[in-house]
Structure 1
Amino acid sequence: MSGSPSRRAVVAGLAGLGAAPALAAGPYRVGHHLYTDDFRHSLGRWAIEAEKPARVAAADGVLDLDAPAGLTLWFRPELVGPVMIQYQAQAVSAGGPNDRVSDLNAFWMAREISGDSPLAHPRTGAFADYDTLKTYYVGQGGNGNTTTRFRRYVGRPGQRPLLPQHDHAAAAEMLAPNRWTTVRLVADGELIQYWSDGRKLFELRDPEPYTSGWFGLRTTQSHLRMREFRVFALTR
């Protein structure tokens, strides 16, 4: 493996935690990991907001989320940047009522416009309820696996700003049924990125970045699985 000893150590450490072989490129380096959830114990670090009754369970290292309508699963600890959030996710297609392969979505660095935690103001799970957050958001494989979009929420009801360059429809950026995908969310000051299996789908240089907040896994009418959730500090 090429590169300095410290970089080799970082890559090896990530591989040991179940990361994809390639390290996300950027001006940052991945430092120590801040949080880990192997989904072998309780879901005490997570808060569920569901529009309709859903099945959320963790067993044998896998979080299984079967949702008939809108659902957000919030990670309770506040994340203070610069950070990289990483996990593996799978859109299940096995004949179940919600197995439609759609909506592997995420909020990150999310907070209320007041500055409060989203957990201080529980929501119904309906998508429009989240308009009042200041957050980054990606919906990968949304709208029945036909769109992949990045948005920077500004905390105003009815407003979900979407730039033309952040509205993608390429088949290669959608979800593949029953395939584990490594997702990386980067918040490194003004540099915001979304990676899928080592491919950078979105990058934003934000002059007024959201530098701390909460992570939420989001979906609607789908069956997702997640494993190997990690949060890493980023260094220069």
Structure 2
Amino acid sequence: MGLAACATPSSAPLSLTAASVRRRLYADDFRQGLASWLIEREDGLGEVSAADGAMRFDTPRGATAWFRPRLTSPVEISFTVQAVSAGGPNDRVSDLNCFWMATDPRSATDLIARPRSGAFADYDLLRTYYVGLGGNGNTTSRFRRYVGNGERPLLPVHDLGAPEDLIAPNRPYRVRLIAAGERIEYWRDDRRMFALNDPQPYREGWFGLRTTFNHMVVRDFEVRSFAG
């Protein structure tokens, strides 16, 4: 169907009733290419492509794909993501990462208008929520709130490293990101891994998929308006 424009930490699944999820805003099954995405690749290396109903990152360096529409809270962003381990040169199983509600103070009204190099340090000046799932060679999973001046604070409760917090090779995970006013959450399958009550929330911005030296496959991307 391609891109469509449509009308406290816990292990319990988030209740998404008909009243709470109002309508689907966007969906992308990646069968119409990547026109809805801005691709940034470090040193121009590696490949980010769309085929067989998936977006595929196969890269020896950093790469980010930004969804072009600007999103406004309250919103839920969801997608299925998998780290491929099949003997390829980039099959490292690491860094199933994402930004959401991101803005760039250097181009405050349009993050897409100021492309970055793809190198991770080039994102330090964003104002955004960020999860690095299976970072540092699949030894950590971390949630950060970037503040827009190069600082990326990390709370101890948001610095995880147990085996259940990391990535299993070739396993697809359903990720859901919530930005609903002060309520900021990251869900993987039926587990809420990260939660933040943000008194100064980022209420609008862009979503980006991110990895480095990895072979990552993304499917079934959706954005829904959200209340509650």
What is the TM-score normalised by the length of structure 2?
0.90
Q: Distance in 2 between matches of 1:174 and 1:117?
A: 33
Q: For 2:33, what is the secondary structure of its paired residue?
A: coil
1:209 has 2:201 as partner: yes
1:89 has 2:89 as partner: no
Q: What's the counterpart of residue 51 of structure 1?
A: 42
Q: What's the counterpart of residue 24 of structure 1?
A: 14
1:174 is matched by which residue type in structure 2? L
1:81-160 correspondence to structure 2 within 5 Å? 81-114=73-106, 115-157=108-150, 159-160=151-152
Question: Can you list the C-alpha shifts for 1:50-86, whole angstroms capped at 9, x where unaligned?
Answer: 1031211111211111011111100000001100000
1:3-82 correspondence to structure 2 within 5 Å? 24-25=14-15, 29-52=20-43, 53-82=45-74
Question: Can you list the C-alpha shifts for 1:96-139, whole angstroms capped at 9, x where unaligned?
Answer: 11100000000000001252322121110111111111000000
Q: For 1:70, what is the secondary structure of its paired residue?
A: strand
Q: Distance in 1 between matches of 2:184 and 2:227?
A: 15
Q: What's the counterpart of residue 13 of structure 1?
A: none
Report how far residue 191 of structure 1 moved: 0.3
Report how far residue 23 of structure 1 moved: 5.7
Q: What percent identity do the matched residue pairs reach?
A: 57
What is the TM-score normalised by the length of structure 1?
0.87
1:225 has 2:217 as partner: yes
Q: Distance in 2 between matches of 1:104 and 1:172?
A: 15
Report how far residue 25 of structure 1 moved: 3.7
Q: How many residues align?
A: 214
Q: Distance in 2 between matches of 1:131 and 1:224?
A: 23
Q: For 2:38, what is the secondary structure of its paired residue?
A: strand
Q: Distance in 2 between matches of 1:116 and 1:131?
A: 18
CA contact (8 A) 2:33 2:51 kept: no
Report how far residue 26 of structure 1 moved: 7.7
Q: What's the counterpart of residue 17 of structure 1?
A: none
Q: Distance in 1 between matches of 2:84 and 2:29?
A: 19
Report how far residue 29 of structure 1 moved: 1.6
For structure 1, which runs of at least 5 residues remain unmatched after alignment?
1-21
Q: For 1:132, what is the secondary structure of its paired residue?
A: coil
1:207 is matched by which residue type in structure 2? P
Going from structure 1 to structure 2, the CA distance change for 1:23 and 1:199 (only over 3 Å counts) comes to closer
2:175 is matched by which residue type in structure 1? V
